[in-house]
Amino acid sequence: MTTELRRLRNYIDGEFRDAADGRTTEVVDPSTGEAYATAPLSGAADVDAAMAAAATAFPAWRDLVPAERQKVLLKIADRFEERAEELIAAESENCGKPVALVRSEEIPPMVDQIRFFAGAARMLEGRAAGEYMDGLTSIVRREPVGVCAQVAPWNYPMMMAVWKFAPALAAGNTVVLKPSDTTPASTVLIAEIIGGVLDELGHSRGVFNVICGDRDTGRLMVEHKTPAMASITGSVRAGMQVAESASKDLKRVHLELGGKAPVVVFEDTDIAKAVEGIAEAGYFNAGQDCTAATRVLVHESIHDEFVTALAKAAADTRTGAPDDEDVFYGPLNNANQLAQVKRFIDGLPAHAKIEAGGHQVGEKGYFYAPTVVSGLKQDDEIVQQEVFGPVITVQSFRDEDQAVEWSNGVEYALASSVWTKDHARAMRMSKKLDFGCVWINTHIPLVAEMPHGGFKKSGYGKDLSGYGFEDYTRIKHVMTSLDG
């Protein structure tokens, strides 16, 4: 007996549509490895239609007073709360995430972030008008950039969609959003929610559009002549491709890419508390987080004790099915990601030692055991490259200077943390660490008011905060003669 797969569809100009040429791709539940839905494999005709809808809707949306855009976003946040269980179910099936953790760790911050940007819509700031030349007054205007082409990743499909559409809509832009080809379900549901709110409040549903597809679909979006800005959260390779494509017509680009966060643990740290926080920040979401605490540098005087404690924490951490309330994380998102994690572990150098885990879990789905690897050197591949799995590496450092050198000695620069009771040392490290975020005695908390974004190959531009909001605006100088 064959189970009929659910059919997901694009959302363009307020209508759910199949791909123009009828092509589809299967969507797999990573906790079972089995397909549960099909989604459109959108092509040029679909991209054209979505961009046309967004472009048509843009003038009226741009010209709304900010208070009206705020009403829309606040209503969207309300709907997210009202339909939370639907969103949780879709995201859990999308990603295999534990239901309880999506409910507690994703829905509340998403709602809060939408409401933050609803408020930000009314707080566009610029320099005061003034006379900088005799007889002339200058004014600075902040304006929306236009249509935004946005590509969200598969590790946090819902939350990253919020990080993209909320500031863009608040600033007066219109959106064409593409989810990952492996995780379209929750984004399609978001389109239904937002479309309903726009319709209810009398605005064009073309303000927000969703098209499903693969890398080629994303490429078509970025290369399209209509959008003024392309925003992507994804791999370094994808970010480079987007930047190259966007350069052909000088689109603005917003890139949040990979990470390889150093976690620097000094000898005065409370080891038990540090291990607890680091294990949680390293294994949350199966380590599929650009800011994950997966590269630990620990002072040589406490190295052995720390590794023993971390290995025990790994052994005590459970992975399993989404409906199991006792598991901390679910499967890796897809078969390719599972293969990548296996490749890193299978390719470990002889001097490395697996202290915990290092193997797949179960016969169904893409589960991988919480893993700790010690004995590593700075130039080892697993230290230098992003694993994006539940794998924590440990290196032993000699002194503060070496900790800084090794921390900064990778191509990524998104997030980092320092664990010490010495306030002066923490301040020195926060200055020297070349990362967009430095946590002290914690790792991974994010708040809507503070910026998130990196340097180097972790990309550029900020998510969240007023800085993230401003990224979706442009600045215009207006000068007027006082002579009339």
Tell me the catalytic residues: 256
* Residue 353 backbone dihedrals phi, psi, to 5 degrees: -130, 125
Burial classification of residue 235, based on how many CB atoms lie within 10 Å of its CB (0-12 exposed, 13-18 middle, 19 or more buried): middle
Which among 332, 327, 306, 307 is positioned nearest to 317, based on CA atoms?
327
Q: Are 181 and 206 in contact (CB under 8 A)?
A: no
Strand order in the sheet with 6-7: 6-7, 34-40, 24-29
Q: Which two tokens stand for residue 375?
A: 């004995």
Per residue, the 3-state secondary structure of the chain, as one string, reads CCCCCEECCEEECCEEECCCCCCEEEEEECCCCEEEEEEECCCHHHHHHHHHHHHHHHHHHHHCCHHHHHHHHHHHHHHHHHCHHHHHHHHHHHHCCCHHHHHHHCHHHHHHHHHHHHHHCCCCCCCCCEEEECCEEEEEEEEECCEEEEECCCCCHHHHHHHHHHHHHHCCCEEEEECCCCCCHHHHHHHHHHHHHHHHCCCCHHHEEECCCCHHHHHHHHHCCCCCEEEEECCHHHHHHHHHHHHCCCCEEEEECCCCCEEEECCCCCHHHHHHHHHHHHHHHHHCCCCCCCEEEEEHHHHHHHHHHHHHHHHCCCECCCCCCCCCECCCCCHHHHHHHHHHHHCCCCCCEEEECCCEECCCCCEECCEEEECCCCCCHHHHCCCCCCEEEEEEECCHHHHHHHHHCCCEECEEEEECCCHHHHHHHHHHCCCCEEEECCCCCCCCCCCECCEECCEECCECHHHHHHCCEEEEEEEEECCC
CA distance 284 to 390: 8
CA distance 254 to 468: 10
